[in-house]
């Protein structure tokens, strides 16, 4: 898909991608240095190269901020990449991973883990949340697949909205009748990178990696689907199979991220549009741009949350919501006016 709202040369695209990588390196460095205990670059570098378990600064960098930064890299990349795939699959510029019920499915499973099985730690209900995200996504796809036309973009959106509403009602009912579930889940539901250790990272990383590989291989497929189902079939694509593979990739990506850090909003919506602005309309380039820009947004928001409410901090989900809401409103207005 070489066309689009403006030409994007290979050189221009390479420059923007390089700048995105540089921005990612910068926010990673800030994530290691900035917080309630701000550290100089020299202190951070010394902690990384000469780790001393008796040094408080080294403990802050290595034991706290490195796992937090790595989880931010994983979650941001997965959510943004999953959002780009969802927008391509549904041909809907307002789609995000929640359209497959990922967030509500994960939240319901986490509620069940807490209320029924007494699980309280993030690493404990991690697999419950991932399984809930996967099952909810499968349910949405099955519901949308009914009928002669199969899982069309409109039917996926409607099925996702219906399933999410139903799951949301169940979650509310359980929380109202179980105080422990309400207290334990409310922090996870906001979305946060704090308090997640390497145990969470090692559990979700393998599944996330499989999702990344699947998603990055869908560039040409999504380009074909963007032309419409009939044209895609004319080009030799198996539309149903393509959508199924894309849905699996979204489940792996967003299920892993949501299980690890909670149901973060707007990352999967905002980042693919920013990537499209810099990379052009070709999904072969939108996908890797999204993979890089997602962590830039998530880690940047996390750093902002650490410094705006000292000595405490705002959870990253709150900061992302404040950043993403104006973008979403502008996007809805542009969509209504037909400029997207």
Q: How many of the other CB atoms lie within 10 Å of CB of 247?
A: 21
Mean pLDDT of 159-169: 87
Q: Check whether 87 has a pLDDT greater than 50.
A: yes
Give the mean pLDDT of 254-275: 87
> Between residues 266 and 309, which one has the greater pLDDT?
266
Instruction: Using pLDDT thresholds of 50, 70 and 90, give the confidence band for residue 39.
Output: confident
Four-CA torsion 89, 90, 95, 97, nearest 10 degrees: -40
Q: What is the mean pLDDT of residues 96-105?
A: 78
pLDDT in tens, 11-35: 889 999 999 999 999 999 999 999 8
Q: What confidence tens digit (pLDDT) does each residue in 294-338 have?
A: 999 999 999 999 888 777 788 888 888 888 778 777 766 765 444
Q: What pLDDT, on the 0 to 100 scale, is given for residue 273?
A: 92
CA dist., res. 220 & res. 293, Å (int): 21
205 and 143 Cβ atoms separated by less than 8 Å: no
Is residue 176 over pLDDT 60?
yes
- Can you name the CATH fold of 10-336? ABC transporter involved in vitamin B12 uptake, BtuC (1.10.3470)
Q: What mean pLDDT is reported for the chain?
A: 83
3-class state of residue 289 by DSSP? helix
d(CA 76, CA 259): 13
What pLDDT score does 151 carry?
Answer: 65
Cα–Cα dist 93/96, whole Å: 9
More confident residue, 81 or 5: 81
For the beta carbon of residue 206, count every other beta carbon within 10 angstroms: 11
Confidence at 339, pLDDT banded by 50, 70, 90:
very low
More reliable by pLDDT, 55 or 92: 55
The share of the chain scoring above pLDDT 70, in percent, equals 89
Q: Answer yes or no: is pLDDT of 10 > 60.
A: yes
Going by pLDDT thresholds of 50, 70 and 90, the confidence category of residue 110 is confident
Residue 337 in 3-state DSSP?
coil
d(CA 73, CA 29): 12
Taking only the tens place, the pLDDT of each residue in 234-260 is: 777 887 788 889 888 988 898 888 888
Q: Tell me, what's the pLDDT at 3?
A: 43
Rounded to 5 degrees, what angle do the CA atoms 97, 144, 265 make?
15
Q: Report CA torsion sign: 310, 25, 264, 120.
A: negative
Token output for 261 = 């850090």
Map residue 150 onto helix, strand or coil.
Answer: coil
The domain locations on the chain are 10-336
The contacts of residue 275 (CB under 8 Å, 6+ apart) are 80, 84, 285, 286, 287, 289, 290, 293
Estimate to the nearest angstrom the gap between the alpha carbon of 165 and the chain centroid.
20
User: Residue 41 pLDDT more than 80?
Assistant: yes
Exposed, middle or buried by CB within 10 Å (0-12, 13-18, 19+), for 10? exposed
Q: What is the pLDDT of residue 83?
A: 92
Average pLDDT over residues 87-108: 80
Specify the DSSP class assigned to residue 30: H
Asked if the model's pLDDT at residue 5 lies above 70, the reply is: no
Lowest mean pLDDT among 38-47, 139-148, 243-252, 281-290: 139-148
């Amino acid at each position: 898909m070489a066309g689009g709202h403006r030409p994007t040369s290979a050189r221009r695209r390479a420059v923007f991608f390089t700048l995105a990588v540089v921005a990612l390196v910068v926010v990673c460095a800030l994530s290691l240095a900035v917080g309630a205990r701000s550290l100089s670059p020299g202190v951070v570098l010394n902690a990384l190269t000469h780790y001393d378990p008796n040094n408080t600064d080294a403990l802050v960098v290595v034991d706290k901020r490195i796992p937090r930064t790595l989880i931010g890299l994983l979650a941001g990349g997965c959510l943004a990449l999953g959002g780009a795939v969802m927008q391509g699959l549904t041909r809907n510029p307002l789609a995000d991973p929640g359209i497959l019920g990922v967030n509500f499915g994960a939240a319901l499973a986490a509620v069940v883990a807490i209320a029924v099985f007494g699980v309280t730690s993030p690493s404990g209900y991690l697999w419950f949340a991932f399984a809930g995200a996967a099952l909810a996504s499968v349910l949405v796809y099955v519901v949308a697949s009914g009928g002669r036309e199969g899982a069309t973009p409109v039917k996926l959106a409607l099925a996702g909205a219906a399933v999410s509403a139903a799951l949301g009602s169940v979650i509310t009912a359980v929380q109202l009748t179980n105080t422990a579930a309400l207290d334990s889940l409310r922090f996870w539901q906001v979305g946060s990178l704090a308090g997640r250790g390497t145990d969470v990272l090692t559990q979700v990383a393998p599944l996330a990696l499989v999702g990344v590989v699947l998603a990055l291989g869908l560039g040409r497929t999504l380009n074909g689907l963007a032309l419409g189902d009939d044209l895609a079939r004319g080009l030799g694509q198996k539309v149903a199979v393509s959508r199924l593979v894309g849905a699996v990739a979204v489940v792996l990506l967003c299920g892993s991220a949501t299980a690890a850090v909670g149901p973060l909003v707007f990352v999967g919506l905002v980042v693919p549009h920013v990537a499209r602005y810099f990379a052009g309309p070709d999904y072969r380039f939108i996908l890797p741009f999204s993979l890089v820009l997602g962590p830039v947004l998530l880690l940047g928001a996390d750093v902002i949350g650490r410094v705006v409410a000292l000595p405490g901090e705002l959870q990253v989900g709150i900061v992302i919501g404040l950043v993403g809401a104006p973008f979403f409103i502008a996007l809805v207005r542009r969509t209504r006016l037909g400029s997207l």
